[in-house]
Amino acid sequence: MRKKGEPLLFREVQYFRQPWLWFIVLGISSIAIYSVVEQLILGRPFGDSPASDSLVLAVGIIFGVALPVLFYGMNLTTEVREDGLSYRLFPFHRSFQRIGSSDIRHGQSVSYRPLRDYGGWGIRYGADGKAYNVSGNRGVRLELRDGRRILIGSQRPEDLAAAVQIITGGS
């Protein structure tokens, strides 16, 4: 979301690269691919009550290929410029979501409990508002002038909070 003439104060791109997550994703992918190989290539139906070949192929493509590709490409990009903070959780946001600097009352670096406070990672809702996070347990909690709270997960929360303080005049 680069705008000509506006200096970039902060930029971070985070990916879903947690080993435990990839263990699960690749485990599911392996089972799907194994079922395709067993039933469609080796001619041995997978399981006691096999699905049709077209269903096995569809499951193989969706879970064996598309799921890992989706998780590999999924990312949270956060940018701060003088006019505000922009974020995008790709592929769920096709374009950047923007919060104007005048809409931010306060931003501070925080540690949080992703599972307990928000129910996990991604685009999440909790008692403390909405969260956008991909890994870890640190971020910047924004309090907006309309009363909403948004947590932006970050591997560099102090830098993000400092950039937010610059654009809000230190509040």
Cα-Cα-Cα-Cα dihedral sign, residues 89, 90, 91, 96: positive
Q: Please state the φ and ψ torsions of residue 33, each to the nearest 5 degrees.
A: -70, -40
| 127 and 162 together in one domain | yes
Tell me, yes or no, whether 159 and 89 share the same domain.
Answer: yes
Domain range spanning residue 49?
16-73
How far apart CA 165 and CA 10 sit, in angstroms, is 12
Say which residues have a Cβ less than 8 Å from residue 72's Cβ, sequence separation at least 6.
Answer: 15, 16
**Mean local confidence (pLDDT), 88-96:** 92
Q: Residues 65, 80: one domain?
A: no
91 and 160 in a single domain? The answer is yes
Pick the residue with more confidence: 6 or 152?
A: 152
CA–CA distance, 89 with 75 (Å, rounded to integer): 6
Which of residues 73, 105, 139 is at a domain's end?
A: 73
pLDDT value at position 5?
Answer: 58
Structural domain total, the chain: 2
* 82 plus 160 within the same structural domain: yes
Domain end among 73, 103, 120: 73
Asked if 38 and 86 sit in the same domain, the reply is no
Number of separate helices (H) and strands (E) present in the chain: 4, 9
- Taking only the tens place, the pLDDT of each residue in 32-47 is 999 999 898 888 886 7
Q: Are residues 93 and 139 in the same domain?
A: yes
Percent of the chain with pLDDT over 70: 96
- State which amino acid sits at residue 117: D
Residues 81 and 151 placed together within one structural domain of the fold: yes
